[in-house]
Structures are given as C-alpha cells and as structure tokens.
Structure 1
Amino acid sequence: MNIEMIPVLLAGLLSLAFAGYLVRYILRQDQGSDKVREIASAIQEGARAFLQDEFRALVIVTVIMVAIFAAALEPRPWVGLSYLVGTLTSALAGYLGMSIAVRANGRTATAATSSWAQALRIAFSGGAVMGFCVVGLGLLGLSIIVMIFDDPDVYSHVWLGYAVGASIVALFLRVGGGIFTKSADVGADLVGKVEAGIPEDDPRNPAVIADNVGDNVGDIAGMGSDLFESYVSAIVAAMVLGAAVGVLGPDKGISFPLLLGAVGVVAAIIGTFFVRAPEAGGSFEEQTAKARSTMNRGVYASNILMIVGGFLLVWFYLSSDEIGVFYAMLAGLACGFLIGLSTEYFTSERGPVKGIVEASQTGAGTNVIEGLSVGMFSTVVPIVLVAAATLIAYETAGLFGIAIAAEGMLITLGMLLAIDCYGPIADNAAGIAEMGGLGKEVRARTEALDSVGNTTAAIGKGFAISSAALAALAWLATFFAVVEEETGKAIVVSLTEPKVIVGLLIGAMLSFLFSALAMRAVSSGAVAVVSEVRRQFKEIPGLMDGTGRADYATCVDITTRRALKGMIVPGLLVIIVPLIIGFSLGLEALAGFLVGSLATGFLLAILMANSGGAWDNAKKYIEAGHLGGKGSDAHKAAVIGDTVGDPFKDTAGPSLNILIKLVGKVAVIFVPIFVLVV
C-alpha cells in the first residue's frame, strides 16, 4: 500500500507548491499608499495577536490531550502522537492561510484603483492559498501516517487520533474566531452606525480594526480549520469503514479515499485557471453578476474534471463492478453543488432577500421576522439533498458509500475554499478603501466585490454545514462499525429503549445549549466593545472630528480575551457530554445522543447561517442606493436585522459544524474504553 501512497504524497506537495506560487504572485503586487499600508499593518498585527493567544491556549489543551490519548488508547503512544500531528497540520494551515489573507487585503484595495479584474484576481488568489494549504497539508499528513501505520487491525485508532487533533484546532479557531469577529462587528455597528451616525469602516471608530481582524480570524482561519476537519474526517471515516466493512478489501478500502483526494487536488488546481475576470463597468448589479459568473466558471470546471477523474479512478483502480462507489462520490458532489445554488438563492440580492428589503420599510421588527422565516424555509432543500445523497450512497456502496459521499462533497475543496475565503478579503479591501480615502470609484468597485463575497461566504457556510452533516453521518456509521468490531456483535438501537430516547433528547438539547453559550459570549463581548468605544469617543480629544486617533489595539485585546473566555464552556461540553453519556448510559444511548445532536445541529446551523446571510445582503442592497440608501429608515431597520444576524451566521451557526462532527469522533475513539467499563 505504500506504493499507492506516492501519488497522494505528490498531490499534497503539488497543492502546497501551487499555494506557494500564489503567495509569490500576491506578494509581488503593489501594497499601496502609506495610509493603506498603515491600515493593513494594523489588521495584520491584530490577527497575529489573536492567533498567538489562541495557540498559547491550544498548546495547553494539546499537551493534556496528547498525554491522555498516549496513555489510555491503544496502540500506545501512537494515538497521542497522531493527535499531535493532526493538531499541528490544522494549525499550520490556518496560520499560513490567514497570514497571506491579511497581506492580500490592502493589495486588493490598491489594485481596485486601476483594475476591477486585477482586484478580484488578488482576492481570489488570497483565498486559494488557504484552500490549497488545507488540502495539501491534510493529504500530506494522512498519507505519511498511513505509510507508517498501515495495518488497519492494529492502527485504525491512530488514524482516528489525527482526525480528532484537527477537530480541536477547529474548535478553537471556529468558535473562538466566531466570538471575536462578531463581538467586534456588533460593537462597532451599534456605536458607530446607530449611535454616532458614522459610516461603516470609518477610521474614527475605535473598533473598526478589530472588526476587520475578525473577518480574517472568523471567516478565513475559522472556516479553513472547519473544512480541514471535515475534509480529514470524511477521508478517515472512509478509510476506517473501508477496512472494517471490507467492500473493496482492506488495502483498496484504505487507499481509495486518499487517491480520490489526490484527483480532487488536480481538478481544483486546473479549475482556478478558469477564474479570469474581464474588466467590469456598469451598474452595481452588473459588476456583481460578472464577479459571480467568473468564479462559477471555476467551480463548474473543477466539478466536471472531478467527475471524469473520479470515474476513471474507479474504473481502472477498482473495477467496473465497483461503479457504485463512483455513484456515491457523484451523489456527494452533486449534493454540495445544489446546496450551493440553494444557499445563493436564499442569500443573494434576489429572491427572498428582496422580501427582507421590503419588510425593512416598516421597521426592524418586520425585518427580523422576515429574515427568520427565510432561514426556516432555507432548511428544506439542504435536508432533502443530504437525505437523498445518503440514500443513494448507501444503496450503491453501503456504509462505505456514505463516507465517500461526504468526501465527494468536499473533493474540490481547494477551489471551494478559495471562493469562500475570497469574501473576507474583499470585505477587508472595501474597509481599507474607505479608511484609506481611496475615492468613490474605488469604494464602488470594492463594494461590488464585497457584495459577491457576502454571497460566496454564505454559500461557503451552507456548504460547510452540509458537508459537516454528511461527515457526521459517516462518523455515525463508523461508530456502529467500530462497536461491532470491538464487541463482536452489531449494536441494536431501539426507540422503545428509554436510555436511547434519553440520549436522543440530550443530543438534541446540546445544539441549543451550545448555540446559546456562543450567542451569549458575543453579546458579552459586544457590550465590552461598546463600552470601550463610548469611552474613547468621550475621552480622546478630536476623535469625532477626525483630528484625534483612535486606540485600535485596546478593542482587539478586549475581543481576544472575550473570545478565549467565551469558548471554554462550549468547548468542554462537546468533549465531556458524550463521555458522560457513554460511561453512564451505555453505547445504545450514545448512539441516540449522536443522532439527536446531528438532527438539531444541522437544522439550526442552516437556519442561522442563511438568515444571517440574507439579513446582511438586504442591508447591502439598501446601502447600494435602494429605498433611500444609507441613513434612511429602511437602512436603520436593516442594520438592526444585520446586527441580529451577525452572531447567527458567523458564530453560533458555523460553530455547530464542530459540535456535530466532534461528538462523533469522541464517541468513536473512546469505544474500546466504553466497552471495557460499561
């Protein structure tokens, strides 16, 4: 099997080399005026400070977890060391991606002074660095571990340790980053727009740099670590199931998911060359349409290439008898693509968003009601699609097919993450254009790019949530397979068993408790930011008239400390609750718990992400000059709706991705101990 890992290793290295090529391209671009450089540097410093504090806390947790895994889980100490490798690769992907993103934002704003197309290309390239670092490091780490620990009967738990390590980093960056970004954003909006009446991204607002830092830590480092976890989780689940259920035989069952990932890297790299934008003039709507169609070409090209490559891999590496595995991959790929279209419909400037815009004319209350209804409606299509993909995958390739469908949804992740991470870079560029005084034309160009970025970010969140749900389903299947392997008999989960119902109810409740804690952390952080901004407006001479200078660093420090504090309890719950259920109520109750957390977590995450995205774009639509534009009553109502939606779409909703995946991993990796104790 080591020979079969060589293409996977090469694909991982190719992905990292392509990311390096993009880094070189970005760093060659003009950094802009001294003012633009100063603003970009402040954002870089804030992002670096946040990551340093997060990683300090992560080191403590990692040392504890490595010690537990190395001492308690067989084969000792390799599960602990594998966990450490998973942690390091995920953290490195997040660090590299965000480090380049905060260098691409100022360059994007500067490019927009002369070329709309060049600005789009820089922002997209910045996002692609994160995308290809994620898939490259993910494949590289897994292939090396499989080459060293290649006996599934002995070492399957070593592979699981790698996936859990990636999950802990995602927990820190997704939950902590989400709390940071929305504490800053909500605080900046409440005092800046609502109280002081100054525009978004105004340099007089002391929280404006923290807000821009938050875009990077939440939507780049957070999203990257989230999808790194989903990507690795789907591959590891497929490897474990491939070895356990024996659909392809143990060797091919392990190597095929990794080889499929290698094909996905090549398809995604080729797809990026289709993202070539013509110069765009015309109205705001025409510019956004051109940007959207430009990036869609890359997605279409990557998907078509992946379909061809996946078919050839199945046909020649497996056999024509195993064509069901290809259908499972195709079901996941199609599911992800269609969910993207559904999310775009519910969150872009057309369709239901127009209803929120109209509702804003009668006040904030109707804006919020309409936005919530949009989110509720938006759950239907993803649920139906994931259900259909699950059934197709199971019917064509069994439990192994479910894991392959989850991987299929993520198979062109390099391209998909590039488009998603483009959004916060464009958002930062729009802010820098405003703060740097680059003029109305540049601001209009960056606003158009930002508006598309809001939609791509919303699509990315919907995609991340749905892929997390499929990955969680794969881990549920893995749980049943590992239990059967450890006990010698299949686990029977009966809804007439009270313990199963208790587990299901606790799992369903956990999603709401987790969301409540995340939302409360944002509220607490926003209150602290509001107090600090008010203090600075009051105490710093000349701040409001532009002659004084705001103390940006204090707001960054406040939000960082609040983020670290706010993520402690939610993070502990995700790890401790499944352990309590497993040790106290048994494996059947734990299975019910996993089902309950998946069902409510998936629905709640979609509702929150799409409501928040729709509220955000309704506000942007009004700010583009409709219904009176900025400062109108409709705009004020839309700002309130967007303020409610911010922690929905950027904190609580995306954080549920981590919950529904991590509880499954904790359950699976501790199955041998549950069997011994219970």
Structure 2
Amino acid sequence: LMKIVFNIKEDDPRNPGVIADCTGDNAGDSVGPTADGFETYGVTGVALISFIVLAITNVDYQTELLTWIFTMRILMVITSVFSFYINRFLSQARYSKTDDLDFEVPLTNLVWITSIFSIIVTFLASYFLIGPGTLLGAVSENLWIILSIIISAGTLGAALIPEFTKIFTSPKSKHVNEVVRASKEGGASLNILSGFVAGNFSAFWQGMVFILLMSIAYIASNTGLENVIPAYPTIFAFGLVAFGFLGMGPVTIAVDSYGPVTDNAQSIYELSLIETKEGISEEIEKDFGFKPDFEKAKHYLEANDGAGNTFKATAKPVLIGTAVVGATTMIFSLILVIKNVLNIEPEQILNILNPWTILGFIAGGSVVYWFTGASTQAVTTGAYRAVEYIKKHINLDPNASLSASTENSKEVVKICTQYAQKGMINIFIAIFSFALAFAFISAPSGTGDAHSTAAASFFVSYLISIAIFGLFQAVFMANAGGAWDNAKKVVEVDLKEKGTDLHAATVVGDTVGDPFKDTSSVSLNPII
C-alpha cells in the first residue's frame, strides 16, 4: 500500500512496514501452509483409521491394513528426502556453470522426481505388505495392485495440480500476460477483472483434475476392494487419494516455503542499502574474489521471486484438495457412527429428497462466504491501522536517515499481529458455534420414525457443502492472487517498468491478491 500512497519502491528501507512484510511472508506462505499440511496429514490419517475400524469387522484385516498405511507414510517421507538429493545433484550438474537459469525448472523437476519415485515405492511396498502370501492377499489377490493404483492417483495429482496451477499463475503463462496487457489499456480496473477470469477458469480446470483422480479411484475400487471393505469401498478409495496427495507432503511444503525465502532475500537486499556503501565493490572483490554486478543481482532476485510466487500458488490447491478428500472420508466415518449409534441408515441421511439435505447444503455454502468476508475484513482492518501508523512515522526527507527505526518497524509488526489474532479468535468462535448449533438442529427428536431422524441429514450435508464450496472458493482465490502477484513481477522484471502507471495498476491487483491467496484461501483449509 505504501507504493501507492507515497510512490516509493516495495522494500524501501525508510518504510517501517517492510519488516512486517517479511514477517508476513514467513507466516502466510510458510508457517500457515505447513500447519495446514500437518493438520490435513492428521485428519486424513484419522479418517482412514476410523473408516477401517468402522467398516471392517475382521480384526486381522484391520491390523494388516493399518500396518500398511503407517508403513506407507514412513516410506513416503523417505522417498521425498531421497528425491531431494537426486534433484540437487541433477540441478548442480546442469546449472553450476551456466549464467542463464530458469528458476522454475529445478522446482518442477523435484515435484516430478518425487512423484515417480513415490509411485514405484507404493507398488513395491504394497506387494510385500498386502500382496501374495499375506492374509489380505489371500482374500483378494489383486488388492495390492488396486490400492497402489488408488494411492498413485493421489501422488500423480500432487504433481499434476501444480502444472495446472502454473497455467494460470506462472510469469510465462498466457493468463498472467493477459492481466498485464489488460492493465496497459484499462489500468487497475481491467487488472482486477483479468485476475478474476484467471481464478475462475483455474477453479474449473482443477475441479476437472479432481474429478479425473477420484474417477480413477472409483473405477479401481470396483475391481475387488469390496471383498475386504464391504461397506462403501469407494469412500475408502477417496481417502486413499488424499493419502497419495500427502505422500508428496514434504515436497509440497518445501516448494511452498521456497516462495517466502526468495521474497525475503529480495527484501534483505534492499534493506541492506549495499549499493550506497562506499568502496563496497572493492571490498567484495577482495573478500570473495569476484566483482559484483548489482543490476544482475537484482534481476536474479526478482526472477527468483517470480518462481517463488508460482510455487507458493501451486502448493495451496494441493493442500486444499487433500483437505476436501480427507474431510469427505471423515464425514462418511461420521455417517457410520450415526448408523451404529442411532440406527439411521446412510441412504436416509444422504437422501436428496429430504428437505433437510438441501437446507444443509445451503447453510454450508453460506458459511464459506461468511468466512471469506470475515477473514478478508480482518486483513483490511489490520492493514488500515498499519498504514495509519506508517503515515505518521515514515520520514521521506532526503536529509533524514535512509532506514526506518527498529521501534517503528516493531510497532507495525505488533499492529498486524494483534489484528490477525483478533480476527482469528472471532472467526473460529463463530465457526465452532455454527457447528454446535447445526448439530443441535440435526439431533433426532426421539420418536424413532423416519420423520424424527430426517434432520440428521442437515449436519452431514452442511459438512459436505463446506468441503465442496470451500474447495472452489479457495482454488479461485489462491490462483487469482497468484496471477495478480506475477503480473506485477512481469512488469518489474521482464518489462522493467517500475514506477510507471502500468506498474501502479499491477500493484493494486497485487494488493487485492495478497488477502485472496495468503489469507482467505489457505484459511479455508482448517475450516474444511
């Protein structure tokens, strides 16, 4: 916002808000998504374990499946670490002696190498754990192949979704360049509209990817999985798709956290004021043996930040999608609990002819949009207060210090933190209250007939609705934000038009995109 208000550069050391921006990059693009991944990791595991215990009556089958699941989890982490070292070796061999580097290529390679190794390990481990000669292998000789295909669909999805995300958010993509072209002619207004277009189309195509992956799981589950899991084998298969997504979890988090590293590296460079220090070129040449090229350094930092923006965007749909599929499995575990405790058949609960089902769907969609508004409002209020403070304390006098004071920078961080915490507490009290209130509405009246238990579908359809509405709202907001962010980066790096009207228009888009991609979209993960 300071770029707009005072027409200063993004990381101007005189701006007390720069340190808050660096802190926010760590929180919004690394710590937040990592927490989402960890939470989804737990939810999906609990959902699958619950489903196995509730849907399979044979304890020996339960034990073998649970052993298989936990072993696969351990192996997936090892595979991710192994893939990292393979990719590092290949990248160093290819790029160590070149001056021209596409920063997106090594990150893309890491994702695909991990995906391929994970799929190979999935089939090998499944063969030995639940293949021929095992208890489950005796029940269904193709079980190890069926489950491996289902998990591999998720693993493949964790590599495919980033590719589809890049179509809408990469600095090289047609959609991002369309945002730039629109900004040239129509300023900030067309910039915003073009970003909305990119976000909406991305939600459609990534929805198609989820349909493809879950269709593979559905088809595979109908080829013998019912021999082991007689109750709703397809739902277990959907949970395994999420499990496959999470097999790529360490790499997904790694490429996501790459973004704030590159962003903050650029900020640190500007804050250091290195170019203004007398005799610094000679000192660097003496200490490190090379003559610094500050223009090239800034170009590399900007280009690397663009790659970081793209891969920050790629991680979010993967995490959100995993949450949705994992939550769906958990919801069906809940349905089985309702069946066992209240003797209400699942077909009665999820009956579209039941008016309570429709009401639950509408309630879930409403809450998603309420949450989006509330989370964006928390950012808007915090930003307003931060700007209010910065305006009073920024000193742009040419004779003043070239850097903001530590105290002022700390105060901006404090303001942002306080408003973020207030927003979080208020929102989650409301979300928790919605869940409790709707659960009370859904409770059977106790008479035992079909009419008295019809309301049970309200709560279940409410949960499903939050997952579905939340998925598309989150993907739309994440990718629209990524498109706006990298449109600004194209103007700065490729067109070198900082300080122009075109740059100002893309800065407005990026300002809208930040709460879209870094607050509301990722926050929908724990809501789901």
TM above 0.5, yes or no, is yes
Aligned match of 2:317 in 462, 475, 491?
462
2:152 equivalent to 1:345 = no
8 Å Cα contact 1:542/1:548 also seen in 2: no
**C-alpha RMSD over aligned residues:** 1.9
Q: Residue 478 of structure 1 corresponds to which residue in structure 2? A: 333
Given residue 480 of structure 2, which amino acid in structure 1 is its aligned partner? S
Q: Deviations over 1:494-521 (max 9, x none)?
A: 2222222211111010100001000001
| TM score, norm. by length of structure 2 | 0.84
Q: How far, CA to CA, are the matches of 1:308 and 1:547 in structure 2?
A: 53
Q: How far, CA to CA, are the matches of 2:320 and 2:32 in structure 1?
A: 13
Q: Residue 524 of structure 1 corresponds to which residue in structure 2? A: 381
Q: Residue 336 of structure 1 corresponds to which residue in structure 2? A: 158
Q: Residue 96 of structure 2 corresponds to which residue in structure 1? A: 279
Q: How far, CA to CA, are the matches of 1:453 and 1:396 in structure 2?
A: 36
Give 1:104-253 correspondences, 5 Å limit. Answer: 190-191=1-2, 193-246=3-56, 249-253=61-65
Cα shift at 1:645: 0.8
Give 1:428-439 correspondences, 5 Å limit. Answer: 428-438=264-274, 439=294
Q: How far, CA to CA, are the matches of 2:148 and 2:430 in structure 1?
A: 38
Quickly say closer, same or farther: Cα 1:221–1:548, change in 2 above 3 A.
Answer: closer
User: Residue 273 of structure 2: SS of its match in structure 1?
Assistant: coil
Cα shift at 1:445: 2.1
Cα shift at 1:548: 6.3
User: Residue 249 of structure 1: SS of its match in structure 2?
Assistant: helix
Q: Deviations over 1:421-471 (max 9, x none)?
A: 111111111110111134333222222221110111010112222222222
Give 1:576-615 correspondences, 5 Å limit. Answer: 576-586=433-443, 587-615=456-484
Give 1:3-82 correspondences, 5 Å limit. Answer: none
Q: Deviations over 1:536-564 (max 9, x none)?
A: 026x9778662763620110111111111
Q: Deviations over 1:26-80 (max 9, x none)?
A: xxxxxxxxxxxxxxxxxxxxxxxxxxxxxxxxxxxxxxxxxxxxxxxxxxxxxxx
Given residue 319 of structure 2, which amino acid in structure 1 is its aligned partner? A
The share of aligned pairs that are identical, in percent, is 30
Aligned match of 1:622 in 491, 497, 513?
491
Quickly say closer, same or farther: Cα 1:206–1:464, change in 2 above 3 A.
Answer: same
Question: Whose Rg is larger?
Answer: 2
2:236 equivalent to 1:400 = yes
Aligned match of 2:432 in 569, 572, 575?
575
Q: Residue 280 of structure 2 corresponds to which residue in structure 1? A: none
8 Å Cα contact 2:16/2:404 also seen in 1: no
2:355 equivalent to 1:498 = yes
Q: How far, CA to CA, are the matches of 1:501 and 1:219 in structure 2?
A: 36
Moved over 4 A (4+): 540-545
Q: Deviations over 1:189-238 (max 9, x none)?
A: x12x1122211111100100011001111111111100001112112211
Give 1:258-407 correspondences, 5 Å limit. Answer: 258-273=70-85, 274-275=87-88, 276-277=91-92, 278-279=95-96, 287=101, 289=102, 291-319=103-131, 320-322=141-143, 323-349=145-171, 350-362=173-185, 363-397=187-221, 398=233, 399-407=235-243
Quickly say closer, same or farther: Cα 1:514–1:312, change in 2 above 3 A.
Answer: same
Cα shift at 1:642: 0.7
Gaps of 5+ in 1: 1-189, 661-678
Cα shift at 1:569: 2.1
8 Å Cα contact 1:386/1:470 also seen in 2: no
Higher relative contact order at CA 8 Å, sep ≥6: structure 1 or structure 2?
2
Cα shift at 1:404: 0.9
The count of corresponding residues between Structure 1 and Structure 2 is 463
Q: How far, CA to CA, are the matches of 2:398 and 2:43 in structure 1?
A: 53
Gaps of 5+ in 2: 132-140, 222-232, 275-293, 444-455
Given residue 454 of structure 1, which amino acid in structure 2 is its aligned partner? N
Aligned match of 2:414 in 548, 554, 557?
557
Cα shift at 1:321: 2.4
Q: Deviations over 1:647-678 (max 9, x none)?
A: 00000111111111xxxxxxxxxxxxxxxxxx
